[in-house]
Amino acid sequence: MNDFQPIAKWDIPCPEDGVYESMPSEDYHRIDALNASTVKAFCQSGIHGEHSLIQPNEGGAALWFGSAFHSAVLEPDDYAMRMRPYDVTGIGVSAEVAHRKYLDENPDTIPLRKGWGEQIDAMASRIWRHPECPYLLLESEGRNELTFIWRVVLEIDGKRVTVPCKARADRFMDAFKPHADSDPVAGILDVKTTQDSSPDGFERAVGKFAYHIQAAWYLAGAIACQTLNQLHDNCYTIVAVEKNAPHPVGVYPLNTGTLQYGVQECRRGMRAYVKFRLHGHAEGPTDTKIPLGLPVWAMPADSSH
């Protein structure tokens, strides 16, 4: 694959381009192809990208909780069949070790630590009570856990490089009406947990966690696979639910300007990723000396004194 350096945790060759409706998540995560989280890491810096590629994907409480919550909302029948409440012994690292051991011994289950089941049920209940969510998640024509595989050709350092890419959307809506009197359109729905689901709070989360880059990446996959024609103001919608009671919910389509900026960042991150896979060089955020002063807010009102 273009003489790319191997990535240990990606040990499945990238399959043919297309849309995959029933790919197991375990297989998806092992496919040797660029994904949104890696693009975001390389946008931050080369060494962040390198770290995201070489670190083992061993999970953790936040990841396991999020996975269980997504299953409860997007695959409720599967969640009901596979969930297993259990009490983790220990705290901190010992709790993580116990959880991982339980998963190793019971790979087809969704283990729920003490209190997780009640919390997930309460969060899901709030989602279903939101005026927009039942239509977006159930009543519109769509498919959950949809995988996109596509390839992008780049010119890097005078060399033509083919980059296998992958994305896994929470839900792809083949036809939904953004408003009651609008024509049906296609788009992606993403379910996220957050600390603040208010418009101002979640806007900050979009910037902090680079959700605009993730959105642009997923949409690029949908367009490459010809399930979406072009970007529009309702082609990527986030359902954001707070993890803490009373679990308020916000529903936020990302506007086209935000998505277009995400597209630019995806291109930048992809080029940095390819250079690393080809040459193994990971640049830091600042590899040269940079004169540093105080931020504007820390300077006196009259900086001449």
Residue tagged 């191997």 (tokens): 6
Amino acid 238: pLDDT: 98
The whole-number pLDDT of residue 60 equals 84
Q: Which pLDDT value is given to residue 163? A: 97
Pairing of strands 110-112, 83-85: parallel
Boundaries of every domain in the chain: 18-55+127-280
CATH of 18-55+127-280, one of 3.40.50.300, 3.40.1170.60, 3.90.320.10, 3.30.1490.20: 3.90.320.10
pLDDT score at 184: 93
Contact yes or no for 106/80 (Cβ under 8 A): no
pLDDT string in tens for the chain (305-residue length): 578 989 999 999 999 999 999 899 999 999 999 999 999 999 999 999 999 998 877 678 889 999 999 999 999 999 999 999 887 666 677 888 888 888 889 888 999 988 999 999 999 999 999 999 999 999 999 999 999 999 999 998 888 999 999 999 999 999 999 998 899 999 999 999 999 999 999 999 999 999 999 999 999 999 999 999 999 999 999 999 999 999 999 999 999 999 999 999 999 999 999 999 998 888 777 667 888 888 888 988 775 54
pTM: 0.91
> Cα dist. 199→187, 250, 251, 253, 272 in Å?
21, 7, 9, 11, 32
pLDDT value at position 152?
Answer: 97
C-alpha dihedral, 117 to 119 to 120 to 126, nearest 10°: 140
